Amino acid sequence: MSARDSSFDGSFDRSFDREHLWHPYTSMTAPLPAFEVASASGVRIRLGDGRELIDGMASWWCVIHGYNHPELNRAIEAQLARTAHVMFGGLTHEPAIALGKQLVALTPEPLQHVFFSDSGSVAVEVAIKMALQYWQARGQPGKHRLLTVRGGYHGDTFGAMAVCDPVNGMHRLFSGVLPAHLFAPRPATRFGEPLKAGDLDAFEALIATHREELAAVILEPIVQGAGGMWFYAADYLRGVAELCRRHAVLLIADEIATGFGRTGRLFACEHAGIDPDILCLGKALTGGYLSLAATLATTDVAEGISASGGVLMHGPTFMANPLATAVAGRSIELLLASPWQQRIAAIEAQLRRELGVCAVHPAVADVRVLGGIGVVETREPVDVAALQELFVARGVWIRPFGRLIYLMPPYVIDPADLTRLTQAVGAALAAIEES
């Protein structure tokens, strides 16, 4: 098809996809396989060739209610009949107001102000801007750096990349142009264990030494996601929060992956009983229907930035999109009305039983389970393309990366389907051993 030829017959053109569409974290000269999706419903993705896959990824952790949910469909349809989009600059609308009320009511009490954006990465960008502008407004522009822990992942935009793990993360190529922030060692104490002696010492030394230049600490509470799927102790998180208060440094909690029940609590901060100054939400916010994120801040942060006429310097075109905010509000209602805690507890128990046996496999370094997250860490990086073909052949959708084969299924998955997923992980380990 030439640049001037706009004809389109509606057929699936695999060669065009392979030659022209750039998928996430892939090469255009050696692309990973991409499977055509014809439809999806419940926990199943139906491919164009008729095969069905049980989804173990919840489409990168956001489709918590399953696909094609009638209540979420109706929320979209009802809002579509009113308006699909309107700018949020100088205008407002009921779905945004209603969703803001829900978020303020559900998150820790000090968080009273909501800024909507388009994606998780942008929510982190906004959080960083909030922290920097807060200290500028207070006459302390020297507080301009961030402190975090190694093994973290906060997004793919430049501000977010700068606080991802600088060595083992996905953004080493950009290290020369990213701001130089501070990194403490990854917490060694596992979730559910008392804090190991000395585990917080390096973090404490960094925050004490650099307090005059630190605007904020940013971390993923309890669960480090795409940076390594590591689950760490609530005592460590409590210690970090206390050190932030002691040294007058803001605390940003990135709950984009953990928010809305994934760890067994509505928000992972609840495991440690902490109240961050700024909170980032995304992924499951809309139940996987549309891209939407939110950054919440305390009144101290919001009024500090706004003192003397200051304004927060961010304004996405699709901020608070009516379709997205409408479906997000309904998704939260569905979650709260469902037995989500029992569902997550049942998923966790089954993952512990069925993935736990993988721990003795010679190719496995570690097995970790928390809430609706199950992780098998291998000793060597996996062949993603080969395992993807194996999983699809077994009728499941699992997307490994690096040395991690992990499951984060929709909350509504039944035990038989979850067993299909865990058995597929076992088959992948057998294939690794044979190769």
The tens place of each residue's pLDDT in the chain, 435 residues long, gives 445 555 556 677 889 999 999 999 889 998 888 999 999 999 999 999 999 999 999 999 999 999 999 999 999 999 999 999 999 999 999 999 999 999 999 999 999 999 999 999 999 999 999 999 999 999 999 999 999 999 999 999 999 999 999 887 767 788 888 999 999 999 999 999 999 999 999 999 999 999 999 999 999 999 999 999 999 999 999 999 999 999 999 999 999 999 999 999 999 999 999 999 999 999 999 999 999 999 999 999 999 999 888 999 999 999 999 999 999 999 999 999 999 999 999 999 999 999 999 999 999 999 999 999 999 999 999 999 999 999 999 999 999 999 999 999 999 999 999 999 999 999 999 999 998
Class of domain 14-68+339-434: alpha beta
Common-topology check for domains 14-68+339-434 and 82-337? no
Inter-helix orientation angle 201-209/234-246, to 10°? 20
Total-model pTM: 0.96
Q: Among the options 143, 165, 199, 283, which is catalytic?
A: 283
CATH top-level class for 82-337?
A: alpha beta
Query: Which one of the listed residues 17, 25, 201, 414 is annotated catalytic?
Result: 25
Burial class (CB in 10 A: 0-12, 13-18, 19+), 98: middle
Phi-psi region of 151 (alpha: psi -120 to 50; beta: other; left: phi over 0): left
User: Tokens standing for 102?
Assistant: 């829900």
- Quote the distance between the C-alpha of residue 342 and its chain's center: 22
- Residue 14 · residue 47 · CB < 8 Å: no
Residue 103: closest CA among 285, 376, 243: 285
The catalytically annotated residue of 134, 153, 236, 411 is 153
**Residue 46: how many CB atoms within 10 A of its CB?**
16
Alpha carbon 222 to chain centroid, angstroms: 13
Concerning whether 254 is annotated as a catalytic residue, the answer is: yes
Angle of CA points 122, 127, 131, to nearest 5°: 145
Q: Identify whether the C-beta of residue 88 lies closer than 8 Å to the C-beta of residue 123.
A: no
Catalytic residue among 55, 235, 254, 417: 254
Domain range summary for the chain, segments of one domain joined by +: 14-68+339-434, 82-337
Give pLDDT, residue 311.
Answer: 96
* Strand 214-219 with 250-254, pairing: parallel
153 is an active site residue: yes
